[in-house]
Homo-oligomer: A and B are copies of this chain.
Amino acid sequence: MGTGQAGAALGLHGGCGTLDRSLMSEAEWAESRSHIAQALRAGWAVLTAGGAALDAVQATVLVLEDSPHFNAGHGAALTEAGTHELDASIMDGSTLAAGAVAGVTRVRNPVLAARAVLESGKAVLLIGPAADEFARASGLAMVKPDYFTTQRRIDALASLRQRALDGSTARASEAEKHGTVGAVARDRHGHLAASTSTGGFNNKPVGRVGDSPIIGAGTYARDGVCAVSCTGQGEVFIRTAAAHDVMARMLYGRESLEQASRTLVFETLQSHGIGAGMIVLGAEGDPLAPFNTLGMYRGWIGTDGRMFVATHQEVHAMGAVS
């Protein structure tokens, strides 16, 4: 621990909700947990090689975007028009440098587009076709929109449309409605970073942007304080500037990481009647994953190098990875 060369840590979430066990087979649940572990290992490999927290969160989110089990990249939710519009952001807690894209449809990995925006230094947020064109000009892999589509999201959209017709939308599971992925990391130099990526929610209005690409709402990182990535109904996270609020409660209000993040999830956000969760990491690399729903895909590797993966209340210890 401490702020020296040790103290690397990493955490991720893959979205919160009811995570209805009946929606997926046991084999699918096992595969989603294995992808969480794989995403953690990808970020951890960066950190143990002495790499930057910024690179670690990018590597972690990349694996989650490529997995069909999470609502980001391949496997993203569909809009009401049956299309995909993807959002992502990434932030370096050591400089407050940040990059984000919203409403992209062609770049394979939105997190890489967000990183390219950060590196350009010319903008923090690019939207729509111009963001895709920027990604292409930056040399990133581009795909046809159907690359993002999975049968599960097609079924979910059909189910939501049916529910809209018969008036039972309120009973749609959170898993049908939304989801997001995100990561937070602390590197051996004590720097923090955070990243979030999403396809939004199923059946979302075309052009709607949630909190994931909004620095301060879905994502925030500041060295010496905390790194935060959020999941849940994005509008409320924007209105409460949720990720920045966790940071501000700690920095200005002297709240602990646990106090600040739990207050956001169980008071501020819950008071708006929404399901909410976040993965947070303190200055020394202590991970927390508060959520007020039945489940949240999540995992972390603490400064002791031990990995944990979880979807519902029980937490699976995966042993030491370093």
Contacts and interface: CB of A to CB of B under 8 A. Distances in A.
Nearest to A272: B96
Contacts of A209: 102, 123, 125-127
A175 to B, nearest CB: 21
Given A91-B239, A133-B207, 18 more contacts: A102-B127, A103-B128, A123-B209, A124-B234, A125-B208, A125-B209, A125-B210, A126-B207, A126-B209, A134-B205, A214-B214, A214-B215, A216-B216, A216-B241, A241-B241, A248-B248, A248-B252, A251-B253
Given A216-B216, A252-B248, A238 B207 contact: no
Contact of A249 (B91, B217, B252): B252
A123 B220 contact: no
Interface in A85-109: 91, 96-98, 102-103
A274 B253 CA distance: 27
24 contacts: A97-B239, A102-B209, A103-B127, A103-B128, A122-B205, A122-B208, A123-B209, A124-B234, A125-B209, A125-B210, A126-B205, A126-B207, A126-B208, A127-B128, A131-B207, A133-B207, A134-B207, A214-B214, A214-B215, A214-B216, A215-B217, A216-B238, A244-B244, A244-B248
Q: Is the interface of A mostly helix, strand, loop or mixed?
A: mixed
A103 B241 CA distance: 21
A155 interface: no
* Range for the number of chain A residues in contact with chain B: 35 or more
A91 B208 CA distance: 17
Copies in the complex: 2
A209 B209 CA distance: 13
Given A128-B128, A252-B248, A123 B205 contact: yes
Nearest to A81: B130
B244 A241 contact: yes
Nearest to A254: B252
Contacts of A172: none
A149 B171 CA distance: 48
A124 B235 contact: yes
Contact of A207 (B91, B128, B206): B128
A240 interface: yes
Nearest to A125: B209
Given A207-B131, A207-B134, A124 B239 contact: yes
A205 B248 contact: no
Q: Which 4 A-B pairs give the minimum distances between C-beta atoms? A: A130-B207, A252-B253, A248-B248, A216-B241
